[in-house]
């Protein structure tokens, strides 16, 4: 009696096709259906035996999860189960009557499905090199990780992680360094990420960054003097009249459809409810930004102190209001 005859509502026709509930399955013969059934039974048996063996190993060896003996025992069982499963599937599907090319095609399709992430990473490696996306030594952001590329492999890219400035760091950021400086962690990211997420390169075509420092100035202060202090600090420490920066910008405009951009420091004003916000925009190299902003901050504070210009804040405004009220009540 045929094995299919024992399954309700599943029958084999005279031509060898399989019918389920009266519907003929195209491309599925009785032999194929039997092989699929045995393949499913083999997969279930291997998984159950592996789970049982893992339980036995766990109880026999004891120890914690990080125990090296348990680790290597688990790895050994995984390898044995994989070998048994592959050999069993090949035995089921490759028979003396089967064309060997069919078996090879099945194995190839299975490997392509199981290793799709590996294939994707290999393809991404070629794209990274041929597309000139980034190279070793570039400062990039990839897969949510910022830092310098220290190694580029066939499957993974190794990045020396750097911190994130407070303006771009999220509240749940795992970085404890609040600047673009090394944290000391080496992070590996799969190359396939470039197909699903953007990659930011800080150094490849234009090794400079536009930075800004915002300064809150009271409305009754000498605003023009405060602007002069900001511009003086930027001209002293930022990139100004640099032939290298001008040449890099010219190359960018030659290769990309980008508008012209000013490389000179500039101050922009923005009115708020409590103070006038002055933002100085300036150009810096892609490395050493924190040192430049530190030197500028020191110069700005010294210049404001010399000019007698306070830095506006909510607490100062409240104190001023209270003082005015006291003067009015006293008079």
| C-beta separation of 148 from 213 below 8 A | no
220 plus 304 within the same structural domain = yes
126 plus 184 within the same structural domain = yes
220 plus 266 within the same structural domain = yes
Indicate the number of domains in the chain.
3
Report the C-alpha gap between 26 and 113 in whole angstroms: 23
221 plus 243 within the same structural domain = yes
Residue 225 falls inside a structural domain: yes
- What is this structure's pTM? 0.60
Q: List pLDDT tens digits, range 101-160.
A: 665 666 677 666 667 788 888 889 888 888 778 888 889 999 889 899 998 888 899 999
| pLDDT given for residue 111 in this prediction | 66
Residue 324 falls inside a structural domain: no
Q: Domain boundary residue among 168, 201, 234?
A: 201
Q: Which domain holds residue 266?
A: 208-317
Residue 249 falls inside a structural domain: yes
223 plus 260 within the same structural domain = yes
CATH number at residue 243: 3.30.70.100
Report the C-alpha gap between 245 and 222 in whole angstroms: 33
Q: List pLDDT tens digits, range 27-60.
A: 556 677 778 888 889 899 999 998 998 888 888 8
Q: Domain boundary residue among 181, 201, 221?
A: 201
The CA-based angle 209-213-218, given to 5 degrees, is: 160
239 plus 260 within the same structural domain = yes
187 plus 222 within the same structural domain = no
| pLDDT given for residue 230 in this prediction | 96
178 plus 270 within the same structural domain = no
Residue 298 falls inside a structural domain: yes
213 plus 311 within the same structural domain = yes
Report the C-alpha gap between 147 and 124 in whole angstroms: 19
Stretches where the chain sits below pLDDT 70 are: 1-30, 63-68, 71, 95-107, 110-114, 166-175, 314-331
């Amino acid at each position: 009696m045929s094995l299919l005859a024992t399954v309700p509502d599943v029958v084999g026709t005279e031509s060898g096709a399989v019918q389920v509930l009266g519907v003929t399955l195209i491309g599925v013969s009785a032999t194929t259906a039997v092989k699929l059934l045995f393949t499913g039974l083999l997969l279930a048996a291997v998984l159950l035996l592996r789970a049982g063996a893992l339980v036995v190993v766990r109880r026999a060896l004891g120890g914690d999860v990080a125990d090296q003996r348990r680790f290597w025992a688990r790895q050994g069982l995984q390898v044995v189960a994989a070998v048994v499963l592959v050999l069993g599937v090949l035995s089921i599907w490759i028979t003396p009557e089967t064309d060997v090319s069919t078996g090879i095609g099945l194995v190839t399709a299975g490997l392509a499905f199981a290793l799709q992430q590996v294939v994707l990473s290999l393809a991404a490696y070629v794209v990274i090199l041929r597309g000139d996306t980034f190279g070793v030594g570039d400062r990039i952001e990839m897969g949510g990780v910022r830092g310098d590329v220290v190694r580029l492999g066939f499957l993974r890219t190794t990045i020396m992680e750097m911190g994130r400035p407070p303006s771009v760091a999220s509240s749940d950021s795992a970085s404890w360094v609040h600047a673009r400086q090394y944290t000391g962690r080496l992070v590996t990211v799969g190359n396939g990420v470039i197909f699903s997420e953007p990659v930011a390169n800080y150094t490849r075509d234009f090794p400079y960054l536009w930075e800004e420092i915002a300064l809150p100035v009271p409305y009754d202060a000498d605003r023009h003097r405060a602007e002069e202090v900001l511009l003086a600090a930027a001209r002293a420490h930022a990139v100004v009249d640099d032939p290298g920066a001008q040449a890099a910008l010219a190359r960018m405009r030659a290769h990309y459809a980008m508008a012209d951009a000013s490389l000179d420091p500039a101050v922009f004003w923005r009115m708020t409810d409590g103070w006038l916000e002055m933002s100085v925009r300036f150009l810096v190299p892609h490395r050493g930004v924190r040192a430049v902003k530190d030197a500028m901050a020191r110069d700005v504070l010294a210049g404001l102190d010399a000019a007698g210009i306070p830095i506006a804040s909510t607490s100062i405004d409240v104190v001023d209001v209270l003082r005015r009220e006291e003067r009015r009540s006293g008079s």
